[in-house]
Structure 1
Amino acid sequence: MAHRPAGHGRRWNGLLLSVAVLVVLGVVAVLATRWVAQRTAPPISMPWGPDCAVTTDEGQVRLDRDQAQRATTAAAVTVQGDSAPVEAPNTDDIPDDVMTRLVEGPADDAGPSLTCRSTDNPDLGVENELEPSGLTPRAQQLHDGLVEHFADLSLGGYEPGGYDTGHGENSAHYEGRAIDIFYRPVDEDNRRAGWIMAHWLIAHAPDYEVAVIIFDDRIWSTTFPSLGWRHYEADPDNEILRHLDHVHVDVQRGEEALDVG
């Protein structure tokens, strides 16, 4: 009769126990991450599942990109009323509490309530030629999309010929890649209007190759696509640098073409 070494059974049991512990820890980590994501404001977009997430009073609701785009457009139309230049898309498949949150914002604040994850498009090249407005073609496309969906916008941060001064070092404004959408004076109504815009921009980021959105002490970027809205560091006494009076949005720069000749 063959005999197994005396310690064989103990080593096998120990291995099974270790695997079981790792499985349990993995499940706990996933559940804990989801629990935090459902209760954290601003929301976090997990690197799996639908691209977007809305934080409501009942927790986090995930939306796919099309739902997020329709929801933010419908919210913008609702807020603009009769002046809206487009009709509200159908949102029957989107929970009422999501639409209420996107239109009204949190009860004790203006936002943010929606985040989406997006990454840079690796196929984009650098645009060196400016449109007559002073914007790159990508930024001009974004400008036209804003005007198409929002009435009576106060836009700035670009001019014919482009900027070469007046902004921070290495600002996207100098390359014609950035637009500022102003909401002045800084008050609660304009904060809520600004977040309607910021939510629309983040939902439509892939369509317009958006790279960065900054508003109301918050920043979102394709550099950290799953982190959502992060705190934006700026002079606490400067409303402009904190982006309290305007939503800043810039489009992706693109990559230089490789010289293979």
Structure 2
Amino acid sequence: METESRRTGRWRGLVLSVAVLAALSAVAVMTTRWVLERTGGQGVSAPWGAECSAWVGEERFSLDRDQARRATTAAAVAVQGEDAPIGAPDTSDIPEPVMTVLEEGPQGTPGPSLTCRSTNDPSLEVQEGLEPSGLTARAEDLRVDMEGVFAGLSLGGYFPGGFDTGHGDDSAHYEGRAIDVFYRPVSEDNRRAGWVMAHWLIAHAPDYDVAVIIFDDRIWSTFYPSLGWRDYETDSDNEILRHLDHVHVDVQRGEEPSDTS
């Protein structure tokens, strides 16, 4: 027969399990509220399921990585028209509302409509030396392919030989890892064009080891990939520092090889 002490222990274990589950649920609720407050309920990507999410109004669409790549490339081609340097990929498997919002932006005001998860690659090593452009090899590959998709880009943030002043402390620009894509002057049309670029970058982030994208008071990074586009916090009203007039993208630095000798 079950002794009184065993019954008591069993009930204590059950109560403890229920308490732990309740605590975890409370943490999940608070975390969800925090995320919603910081993102406005949009741009969040769950750490499971499809890698990418697009939203049209309140409706969310799941996309795999290949669909996101094709959708953002097709949107870039569509907005450029005859100036596009490449043809549009097939997007027959992608919902029409997704393509519309990627090309035209959300109704009312420009903003993000796509987010994807992507994390740092721990196998990457630091790239020593700069290309003639002043970029690392990884950043140079990104620059070349950006110009292969988008015609007539206004690029900056790098210089032959590299920068040592003019940017914030610890800026990736000093290491030749960052590119700025300018959309000036700040206007609704240029904001929409900037988001087309930002969406293309986030969809292709793993292909170029992208680490950070900043535009229009929003930031995405591989450090918090499931948070999607979060508020970019700065005390300045300067449109350059707020990244209102340009899309900033930097690639991962990589890790120093460990000494195994």
Shorter-chain TM range is 0.7 to 0.9
Equivalent residues of 1:53, 1:116 under 8 A apart: yes
Q: Which amino acid aligns with 1:64?
A: D
Aligned partners of 2:14 and 2:67: how far apart in 1? Answer: 46
Establish whether residue 48 from structure 1 lines up as the match of residue 48 from structure 2: yes
Instruction: Answer with 1 or 2: which has the greater Rg.
Output: 1
Aligned partners of 2:165 and 2:21: how far apart in 1? Answer: 56
Establish whether residue 105 from structure 1 lines up as the match of residue 120 from structure 2: no
Q: 1:163 to 1:98 in 2, by over 3 A?
A: same
Aligned partners of 1:22 and 1:227: how far apart in 2? Answer: 24
Match of 2:253 in 1: 253
Match of 2:82 in 1: 82
Equivalent residues of 1:41, 1:112 under 8 A apart: no
Compute the displacement of 1:70 (Å): 0.5
Compute the displacement of 1:43 (Å): 1.6
Match of 2:146 in 1: 146
TM-score normalised over the length of structure 1: 0.88
1:1-261 to structure 2, matched below 5 A, reads 15=14, 40-261=40-261
Secondary structure of 1:107's counterpart equals: coil
Q: 1:3 to 1:214 in 2, by over 3 A?
A: closer
Runs of 4+ in 1 over 2 A off after TM superposition: 2-5, 39-42
Aligned partners of 2:61 and 2:134: how far apart in 1? Answer: 39
Q: Which amino acid aligns with 1:177?
A: R
Secondary structure of 1:100's counterpart equals: helix
Deviations 1:63-115 (A, max 9, x none): 11101110000111110001111111111111111111111111111111111
Aligned partners of 2:224 and 2:2: how far apart in 1? Answer: 57
Equivalent residues of 1:141, 1:208 under 8 A apart: yes
Aligned partners of 2:241 and 2:64: how far apart in 1? Answer: 33
Secondary structure of 2:101's counterpart equals: helix
Deviates more, 1:214-223 or 1:231-240: 231-240
Q: Which amino acid aligns with 2:179?
A: I
Q: Which runs of 5+ in 2 are unaligned?
A: none
Q: 1:136 to 1:247 in 2, by over 3 A?
A: same
Q: 1:41 to 1:164 in 2, by over 3 A?
A: same
Q: 1:242 to 1:15 in 2, by over 3 A?
A: same
RMSD: 3.0
Compute the displacement of 1:55 (Å): 1.3
Aligned partners of 2:174 and 2:106: how far apart in 1? Answer: 35
Q: Percent identity?
A: 68
Equivalent residues of 1:43, 1:60 under 8 A apart: no
Compute the displacement of 1:57 (Å): 2.2
Aligned partners of 2:254 and 2:2: how far apart in 1? Answer: 67
Aligned partners of 2:110 and 2:70: how far apart in 1? Answer: 20
Compute the displacement of 1:260 (Å): 2.3
